[in-house]
Amino acid sequence: MATRVRSLSGRIVGGEGTWAGSPISASYPTLRGSCTDVVGDFGGNHPLTLKREETTGSLYVRESGSLILPYPGMPTNWHNESWGDWSPQPALSSYVNRVLATSGPLTPNLNLPLFIVELRDIPGMLRHAGNLLHKIVRPSGLNPVKEAAAANLAYKFGWAPLVEDLGKLLNFAEAARIQQQRIKKAYSSRGVRRRVNLGSDSKGFTGSSLIWSTYGSFLQPQWIGSGNSTTWATVRWIVRDPSRYGYEPPFTEALRTSLGLNAGQIPITVWKAIPWTWMIDWFTDISNVLQANYNSIYFKPYRLSIMRTSVTRVEHKPILNIGGKPGNYLTAGTRTVTFKYRYANNAPSASPTLRLPFMDGYKLSVLGSLAALKVLK
């Protein structure tokens, strides 16, 4: 077993022309990339880093001057641009606690005790909604920024979780049957394989890039780009006691697990019911650690892989009449950059860590709303 690094270069595009009457030619690869992986252990769980860049278009045509590049033109090279990691993202290893908490055989589909505790907030939610509607009909003169912040928090911590939990309750029997099959597989010699969606992100951006062709021809077209990123994980769970292979859980056991009614869920429910623990979890991840460790009492996680794919596509429009001469132009071009990563952990375990939270859009929205309410109080 060894680590190897491979490079990719292909799809050569060439062009011809003349310089002061002498023939010239040049060529550039339109497909480049690199890959770092492990060989000698087929089927094993190992890290991976892959980058792939592909360019189309961006051909330079020049019909006047000392440098002549007749149609279809000379290929160009995008100078030191990749755009692969277009936005800051958390390290893949930081997702371990979350994956172990959400994928385990004993993770509930709905924490019913916590749902019942949170029902006490419904009168306040209805009152706030009624007040908001009333203010739409009869403006009260209250600060609109404060009202928008309160409405944002009411949705994120009130209505959205409530609607999601009600949807799960409507289909609790089917959820319990799925949980039953999941636990049954965990008691087999192969265990149960789980896939966890860890989120996606997208972004649009604009800018300019320096591209160059042969004989010192530099151009700087404006481009527009978009990026998409997806992160997910897979992990297997197997019962710790091999003598338990073949155990088939009854429906009632699966139902209790699916609704969070097992005794082992009590500390997790109590923690989540305490006010402001959701913000503490941003820094210490206690909820996920509690749930992951509860899953690990009877079952063992192994072969955990966390993957991310980022795809960025940028394109520029043609540049006409370069230097004020109609015969000199750059054709439209596109570059697509793909990054793929895999974090591999064959014996994962959950542990609390003190860390700075990654401020995604959701957390920034919540903090902004809290700040608005505090400042305008």
Helix (H, G, I), strand (E, B) or coil at 45: coil
Give average pLDDT by consecutive 10-residue segment, the chain, 377 residues.
82 87 87 90 89 90 88 79 63 92 91 63 50 50 52 50 57 84 95 94 82 74 89 96 93 88 85 75 83 93 95 90 86 92 92 63 49 46
**How confident is the model at residue 348, as a pLDDT?**
93
Helix (H, G, I), strand (E, B) or coil at 332: coil
Closest CA to 284 of 198, 356, 367: 356
72 vs 70: CA distance, rounded Å: 6
Which domain, by its residues, includes 121? 2-375
**How confident is the model at residue 162, as a pLDDT?**
53
375 vs 233: CA distance, rounded Å: 40
Q: At what angle do helices 286-298 and 96-103 cross, to 10 degrees?
A: 50
Tokens at 239, concatenated: 């019962």
157: left (phi over 0), alpha (psi -120 to 50) or beta: alpha
180 vs 165: CA distance, rounded Å: 20
Cα 145 to Cα 21, 148, 297, 373, distances in angstroms: 69, 5, 48, 8
> How would you label 86-110 residue by residue, b for 16+ Cβ within 10 Å and e otherwise?
beebbebebbbbbbbbbbbbbbbbb
216's CB contacts (< 8 A; 6+ apart) are: none
Q: At what angle do helices 160-170 and 172-186 cross, to 10 degrees?
A: 80
**How confident is the model at residue 131, as a pLDDT?**
54
**How confident is the model at residue 86, as a pLDDT?**
59
For residue 243, the one-letter residue type is: S
77's CB contacts (< 8 A; 6+ apart) are: 28, 211, 212, 213
Other CB atoms within 10 Å distance of the CB of residue 4: 10
CA atoms 126, 165, 282, 297: torsion sign? positive
- pTM for this one? 0.78
Q: What is the rounded radius of gyration, in angstroms, for the C-alpha atoms of the chain?
A: 28
The tally of domains found in the chain comes to 1
303 vs 103: CA distance, rounded Å: 13
265 vs 316: CA distance, rounded Å: 55
Q: Are 24 and 214 in contact (CB under 8 A)?
A: yes
**How confident is the model at residue 357, as a pLDDT?**
58
Return the bridge partners of 6, or none: 35
211 vs 220: CA distance, rounded Å: 6
289 vs 110: CA distance, rounded Å: 18
> How would you label 301-321 residue by residue, b for 16+ Cβ within 10 Å and e otherwise?
bebbbbbbbbbbbbbbeebee
For residue 91, the one-letter residue type is: A
Distance of CA 107 to the CA centre of its chain: 22
